[in-house]
Amino acid sequence: MAGSSVSRADRQGQILAAARKVFAQKGYYRAGVADIIKESGIARGTFYLYFNSKRAVFDAVLVDIFGRILEQIHSVRVTDPWDENAVVEQVRGNAQRLAAMMLSDPGSVRVLFAEAAGLDEEASVNLVEFYDRLGQWVSASLEDGIRLGIVRPCNALVTAHALIGSLRGMLWAWSIGLVPLDEATMVQEAMNLVQAGVLCRPAT
């Protein structure tokens, strides 16, 4: 993509998409800046206008993946008295958006679960911070649900990470070829976990 008409944001997105693909295909250690530049179709100098190293672009790829995951999860709106179907459909919408995003982008899944995990202390800290943020958000949502009588009494933070871990396990197993997984299956299994393990039945 040559030419000055490309905005800075678009150029950065182009580099991130190329880097995500390269890291997913080659792994962090085998990938090089030259590979990312080749995949991006940009000049070497252009790359260094945005990132000063391979590690810098890898961290930016992680931040981008984290942000896109969080964008898929919307707060659940509840009426009083609460409507089970309305709550379930909103939760299903979150699951559908997340499944569509992750399963349509196996490169992001591989980078997140195969490359970032255990890379080094800095990467581990970034992952912990992301899962802590996600866990706190889910936990707060569960606590709201408990107060409203939607969610069964539980340790909200532990239950939040149990749900997150279940989804993470599904995606990790899919990313390394242990299980086949499509959007419908991922959504249905996620909903089974929520409905059987978390939600109460509304009072009649």
Fold of the domain built from segment(s) 72-197: Tetracycline Repressor; domain 2 (1.10.357)
Which positions ≥6 away from 48 have C-beta within 8 Å? none
pLDDT in tens, the chain (204 residues): 444 577 898 999 999 999 999 999 999 999 999 999 999 999 999 999 999 999 999 999 999 999 999 999 998 888 777 788 888 999 999 999 999 999 999 989 988 887 887 778 888 888 899 999 999 999 999 998 898 888 999 999 999 999 999 999 999 999 889 999 999 999 999 999 999 999 987 665
Fold of the domain built from segment(s) 8-57: Arc Repressor Mutant, subunit A (1.10.10)
Q: Is 3 left (phi over 0), alpha (psi -120 to 50) or beta?
A: left
180 burial level (CB within 10 Å; 0-12, 13-18, 19+): exposed
Phi, psi of 92 (to 5 degrees): -60, -40
Cα→Cα distances 94→25, 57, 186, 202, Å: 29, 29, 12, 21
Token reading at 125: 């800290």
Residue extents of the structural domains in the chain: 8-57, 72-197
Please give the Cα distance from 94 to 90 (Å, whole number): 7
Residue 204 confidence (pLDDT): 57
pTM of the model: 0.83
